[in-house]
A and B are shown apart, each in its own frame.
Chain A
């Protein structure tokens, strides 16, 4: 088995390190919080400055008290002449510096995290809001999983940038600058001696980063492969066993597993080399300090205090240099995420709000049946010229119940989607109450319809929240009334918590029939002017079937209704039946009339409905 060819895992696409256009757009999200950002930066500067104080205090303690030298220091005016008292003063000062530093750091970290989270909140809200507006057509071609990632993972990656990346880089540079300033003040010569090790630190870090980057890339690939392999083989274990493939599966897994181990071992080697190397460079800097400093001390141009302070500075000055390398990756993946997010936000909405000026008045959304529905020479294709509907014309009179029947793929459901303006027609027009749909605000339009889609979709929540959905103005009584009308009330009352019974993952605890009935109740609770019903094909048990049948009967009475029908009882109740076949409206009339024609309907009847008698 050519293992290598079978598994090449896509490298994550990394964006540019810095893209001015993206960064400008990102900064715009920071604008509402600029005061907070300013506060955080001020705190950051203050705490970086304090980090310099410790070694300096040590220096003063040594030169003034422990090994007295006649060198003036900034603190002479405040410090006691008594050696023990003075030492205690310095220790207290050190303690104070630590405590103030703690406060500054805490405030800085928290404020920055707070700002980051606020920005993420705004961004997530914006993306989600945009998704609520995008066309159904957009959803037809975009996998839901990928869209979910935009709202979740991509935003979190950006958060890294705000909360850790940018600020930390700034903090690292500040620390570096302050330490350098302190060193220059104390002894420019010694500073040069310390910084002589700088290029070595940069070099070692660079070499390590390069080795580690390669190993890390292989690790990521190996982990992805292990996950993919496990996922696939756990899912398909039955096939593996049926075909006696276990030994070979084990061998392939062993290879992937070994790659994973070896990639890690390379990373371990890189780390194992890096830490001693960087420490040795530190020792080197220390030795240079000691030798050069010792030389100067012997010559009387340097105090021991300064040397000790430098030994401590040397430890701190290299840390930011090492950290900077790490921030590189954060920047890179943040840019890639930003790019993806903005691309989604830039996707245009086609079926959106209609300018008020050209908006046409729709029939009032109350229950009195008025307003005709007309389809006039409607053509529609989801893609190019693959016509799903061809020249379809019909009208539904106020109060009339129309059933649409046809074989799979005849275009029945498409008619309903067009009526709800999920899509706009390719040619021809649809009018509701005399208003062309293209002049209607889709949200306003849909408020007039009570819709039951073929797949009865339930949300996690309670039964009553599923009936009400987000329309909180619907009072409890109306929810109960709707449940009653949908023949659902007695079932709900039999549940331990009645209307407040939990609905789990898409209603997995409910039967298909019950889910349908909940959808009926949902439609009714919204007091629709028009009823649109796409009957589910799946069969339900006789008891529920009876309830469904009865509920449909009640629902259509006195309401303008269009039903994609699979039940004979529904069809027989309709005032008129439209027979769709291969995208065209082929027959129309009452059940008896159509049967007498002995055409398509007759065959459909024999095939699908006859058994139901």
Chain B
């Protein structure tokens, strides 16, 4: 547990003075709180002995004043301690996110999004509960018990002992029930997601269900889960049903003890009636700390478990970094790309890429075609170091890409990935995503070349239109064109289009390609496509299949060879004919 807590040290240290102030407020609050019952004792005792109205008023005002002072410190205690816990949560969440931005696609391939998010939200909150309310209530309980026991004990230590007997029972049952309720609740949550996925499955497979007339059987299956779900819920209800009444009974028991034993002491003349009432007041004051004691233990347990999960995430080392960069790396990048004996393995089996040797002179256009799973995307992902190869080297201007600072390397590349990913921001923000402070004119120009500008003009708020659920839903082709604009605006030395026009119709494609031809001049360009029309004018075309280069040459050369490329060409001619039929 202590080892896990070590992560928290720097954060706790940062706020040590505020923590100290919070604890000071807590002590002062408890000090004033403990005095009040003493005053009440005094009032009652003087009442039985006869006193003047003036004295009653004095006591009353004193009580009110004490209440004000106590309230003042109570405010500061909560505001400071809980406030600090939110500050730490904020710091830690920022650090977590920053860490996430450094982890490579390999990490994201191996971890589920929901799991990562749970750590940055739920687990983080559990840790905050531990260092905020957890610490506060722990201190509060400790101090107030100590003070109350001291005062009560000084009046009648034996009565104090008996009165406090139910306290461990209350704390223990809060802890025990709390854990049990948490577990059963967790179980219910799991069942809840079972039910959700059952319904989800049924509704997604609605055609199969109907086709096989399985409606009744499905109702039956759902009914079973539904029954099980309420059974679990009732198990929890039984706990709840006994928890609160039990708590009230146990707390009530302390009052019975005060009444019975305290009353006897009064009858014996061992304590005064005022002391008797004071005992009652103290017990009223201790109700919440009794409960908190059990609760805090659970908070600590949950908090440390969550902290372990967060530490695990923070412990992930980024596998793509600038470790191999020497002397700040090379200067300006021209854009000559070379693959030398490159091999990539995805787990066991045949390698995804196998001894690829390929050189693309700066300013030239290379097109890559080939069947799905042939290794095209894997190959181009090596350039921007989305992955490092297992064997061989990828060189840029003759320098291993691992020796170029990541930031400079990627700044020289404009990439349109295969799966177009846009953010829920405005069209303008999406286009200017990689361009720092882009002027409006630049955004417009990039959109023009990418062929998205006419579409944007139709949007309700033009470039300020939000993309995604809360704004406009773009078609596949529009998304791709926006992504092209996003790559172009960076004015990159190297342009990489991974099947970036697949959802665009042939006519639009032709227009975009004409625009692009001008832009691509002088830049090294890599094009992946399934369409001959896209790749035909490239300086060189390679066919990648089964992780190997199987054909390469110009359009005409490859047609003459009669291989994969020629067949592809043939098919697409036919397709065009069919469109017109």
Contacts and interface: CB of A to CB of B under 8 A. Distances in A.
A61 interface: yes
A98 B83 contact: no
B264 interface: yes
Contact of A298 (B50, B233, B255): B50
Nearest to B467: A6
Interface string B57-94: 10111011001101110111011001100110110011
Q: Chain A interface: which size bin?
A: 35 or more
A443 B213 contact: yes
Which of A1, A83, A152, A241 gathers most chain B CB within 10 Å?
A241
B94 A109 contact: no
Given A109-B245, A469-B214, A147 B276 contact: no
B384 A294 contact: no
Interface stretch (B169-177, B236-244, B303-311, B549-557): B236-244
Nearest to B208: A457
Contacts of B233: 113, 117
Contact of A117 (B234, B249, B486): B234
Which of A118, A129, A268 gathers most chain B CB within 10 Å?
A268
A236 B248 contact: no
A584 B210 CA distance: 27
A330 to B, nearest CB: 16
Given A105-B248, A237-B108, A451-B211, A304 B201 contact: no
Nearest to A142: B203
Contacts of A95: 253, 256
A567 interface: no
B581 interface: yes
Contact of A283 (B63, B94, B97): B63
Contacts of A287: 60-61, 63-64
Interface stretch (A20-28, A130-138, A185-193): A130-138
B165 interface: no
Nearest to A110: B241
B212 A471 contact: yes
B476 interface: no
Interface in B470-501: 470, 486, 490
Interface string A241-274: 1111110011001100110110011001101110
A142 to B, nearest CB: 9
Contacts of A2: 426, 429
Contacts of B248: 98, 101-102, 105
Nearest to B108: A237
A261 B429 contact: no
Interface in A585-613: 599-600, 603-604, 606-607
Interface residues of B, number: 134
B117 A61 contact: no
Contacts of A283: 36, 63-64, 67
B205 interface: yes
B245 A106 contact: yes
Contacts of A257: 90, 93-94, 97
A73 interface: no
Contacts, number: 372
Given A87-B267, A276-B70, A94 B255 contact: yes
Interface string A72-98: 000000000001100110110011001
Which of A54, A121, A243 gathers most chain B CB within 10 Å?
A243
B223 interface: yes
Given A88-B260, A98-B253, A244-B411, A6 B429 contact: yes
B256 A98 contact: yes
Given A106-B245, A298-B50, A245 B434 contact: yes
Contact of A243 (B202, B206, B410): B410
Nearest to A109: B241
B98 A470 contact: no
A581 B581 contact: yes
Interface in B149-190: none
A471 B424 contact: no
B213 to A, nearest CB: 5
Interface string A1-39: 110011110100000000000000000000000000000
Nearest to B570: A606
Contact of A238 (B116, B216, B386): B386
Contacts of B214: 469-471
Contacts of A541: none
B456 interface: no
Given A102-B246, A245-B434, A295-B53, A470 B217 contact: yes
A388 interface: no
Nearest to B233: A117
A459 B205 contact: yes
A314 B424 CA distance: 54
A542 to B, nearest CB: 15
B359 to A, nearest CB: 23
Contact of B221 (A113, A233, A470): A470
B423 A109 contact: no
A102 B244 CA distance: 9
Interface in B399-442: 407, 410-411, 413, 415, 417, 421, 423-426, 429, 433-434
A178 interface: no
B575 interface: yes
Interface string B103-118: 1110010000100110
Contacts of B571: 607
Interface stretch (A208-216, A222-230, A368-376, A424-432): A222-230
B434 A132 contact: no
Given A118-B230, A234-B113, A607-B571, A152 B108 contact: no
Contact of B53 (A83, A284, A298, A453): A298
Contact of B205 (A67, A288, A457): A457
Contacts of B71: 276-277, 279-280
Interface stretch (B40-48, B338-346, B360-368, B518-526): B40-48
Nearest to A284: B64
Contacts of A277: 71
B425 A1 contact: yes
A388 B100 CA distance: 48
Contacts of A291: 56-57, 60
B97 A253 contact: yes
A298 B52 CA distance: 8
A144 B226 CA distance: 19
A412 to B, nearest CB: 15
Contacts of A145: 200
Nearest to B223: A125
6 contacts: A87-B260, A107-B241, A114-B237, A128-B219, A236-B423, A290-B43
Interface of B: 36, 40, 43-44, 47-48, 50-51, 53, 56-57, 59-61, 63-64, 67-68, 70-72, 74-76, 78-79, 82-83, 86-87, 89-90, 93-94, 97-98, 100-105, 108, 113, 116-117, 120-121, 192, 195-197, 199-223, 226-227, 230, 233-234, 237-238, 240-242, 244-246, 248-249, 252-253, 255-256, 259-260, 263-264, 266-267, 273, 276-277, 280, 284, 384, 386, 407, 410-411, 413, 415, 417, 421, 423-426, 429, 433-434, 464, 466, 470, 486, 490, 571, 574-575, 577-578, 581
Interface of A: 1-2, 5-8, 10, 54, 57-58, 61-62, 65-67, 83-84, 87-88, 90-91, 94-95, 98-99, 101-103, 105-107, 109-110, 113-114, 117-118, 120-121, 124-125, 128-129, 131-133, 136, 139, 144-145, 147-148, 151-152, 156, 163, 223, 226-228, 230-246, 249-250, 253-254, 257-258, 260-261, 264-265, 268-269, 271-273, 275-277, 279-280, 283-284, 286-288, 290-291, 294-295, 297-298, 304, 308, 311-312, 315, 407, 420, 422, 442-444, 446-447, 449, 451, 453, 457, 459-460, 469-472, 506, 522, 526, 532, 581, 599-600, 603-604, 606-607
Given A268-B82, A471-B214, 5 more contacts: A87-B263, A226-B120, A233-B101, A234-B113, A271-B82
| Those 3 A-B pairs whose CB atoms lie nearest each other, nearest first | A470-B217, A243-B434, A276-B71
